Structure 1
Amino acid sequence: MAENEPTPAEEAAARAKEQAEQDALPYKWQQTIGDVDIQISVPGNLKGRDLVVDIKKNSISAGIKGQEPVIKGDLPHAVKVDDSTWTLVPAPDGTKTIEIHLDKANKLEWWPHVVTDAPKIDVTKIVPENSKLSELDGETRGMVEKMMYDQRQKELGKPSSDEQKKLDILKKFQEQHPEMDFSNAKFN
């Protein structure tokens, strides 16, 4: 096991703590690489006009009119306001759910939380569903896979794919030119 790498027990404890923090939030949320969806349970007798949902490029506020917002704060990254929506949906148990859909401005970024003052999740542990990954066009999928690889390499203290490419080119050059001394070379 590499230095600083958590044991399976520490990893499980970290995941359990993270899950408990997320479960304690007054809303539920999930994300794909391109969007974030938030669900807030409200009493079943409420109508759309009883709610206040304010989605801005870099912030959100949502809740029941006249009460403290259930969620309010700065977003970790920008959203496309025109493509972000909310609806009020009846739930099977007689309550209703405010469903908020945020369209990420950057489609290649995982969010650690919905608002910056909420507990974070470890975005390095996100495993996108392969079906979702396969739906991406070739270029985007390649970029996402490269980002995931680079993130794993960074966690392990290993070079990213770009750094590895440079190291491979340098190694090949050194092999082709054994007469050159690289012992004092500095690489950025």
Structure 2
Amino acid sequence: MDASKYDSLSPAEKEAHDAAERRREAEEQAALPYRWTQALDHVEVTLPLPAGTRAKQLDVAIKRASLRVGLKDGEKTVLMAGDLPNPVQLDDCTWSVDSAASSSTLTIHLEKAKQTWWPHVLTSDPKIDTTKIVPENSKLSDLDGETRAMVEKMMFDNRQKEMGLPTSDQQKQSEIFEKFKREHPEMDFSQTKVGGSFGGDFGQ
């Protein structure tokens, strides 16, 4: 659904739509052969392996814009492979294997080259809605000033949209318009509206 159609929904319809999207995303992510989490600066991938698998039995190739994990068995089994949505800092990327008789797990740490939310790990996999991501408050203090301001603005705008209220940009636009009205009382603004999908008749 595009933004204009979403904005035209009632609060109840938006809530129902968001709930359905969360269920769809959860089902798609659960179907992946791996699990992943992210912060603005990195991605953590955990991939279940055949029980007893050790690091020397794996072929892990982390490149700036791609990832490949395979088994060094007779069939050269590929467990996951594809392009990354954004480049990584290779020097800070790592991987390790937690091996046990009953289970083994590969953990991959991907350090992002740019602080941004990833919609997926591999571009061939289903996307998540990055506009719905809410980072932990304790992590916001770790960000630089510019990035923190960007994240907080995004979070505020998302909450405003969900409640059918003006975003920060729309509020700023309205404030500028109100100031202009006060400075030009001789002009008629009765038919003027501002704020895109948000806006009222400021001449009333």
Give the TM interval when normalised to the shorter protein: 0.7 to 0.9
**Match for residue 47 of structure 2?**
40
Q: CA deviation at 1:67?
A: 3.1
Q: Is the 8 A contact 1:57 1:81 kept in 2?
A: yes
Tell whether 2:9 aligns with 1:4: yes
Q: Distance in 1 between matches of 2:78 and 2:63?
A: 15
| TM-score for both structures, normalised by structure 2 | 0.75
Pick closer, same or farther for the CA change 1:32–1:45 going to 2, 3 Å. same
AA in 2 matched with 1:62: V
Pick closer, same or farther for the CA change 1:9–1:160 going to 2, 3 Å. closer
Count of residue correspondences: 185
AA in 1 matched with 2:107: E
Q: Which stretch of structure 1 is more off in the superposition, 67-76 or 8-17?
A: 8-17
Tell whether 2:117 aligns with 1:117: no
Q: Distance in 2 between matches of 1:64 and 1:10?
A: 41
AA in 2 matched with 1:103: E
Tell whether 2:111 aligns with 1:103: yes
Q: Is the 8 A contact 2:93 2:110 kept in 1?
A: yes
Residue segments in structure 2 that go unaligned for 5+ positions in a row:
1-5, 196-204
Tell whether 2:111 aligns with 1:128: no
AA in 1 matched with 2:54: K
Pick closer, same or farther for the CA change 1:80–1:155 going to 2, 3 Å. farther
Mapping for residues 63-74 of structure 1, pairs under 5 Å: 63-65=70-72, 66-74=75-83
CA RMSD of aligned residues (A): 3.0
Taking only the aligned residue pairs, the percentage that are identical comes to 50
Residue segments in structure 1 that go unaligned for 5+ positions in a row:
none
Q: Is the 8 A contact 2:70 2:77 kept in 1?
A: yes
| TM-score for both structures, normalised by structure 1 | 0.80
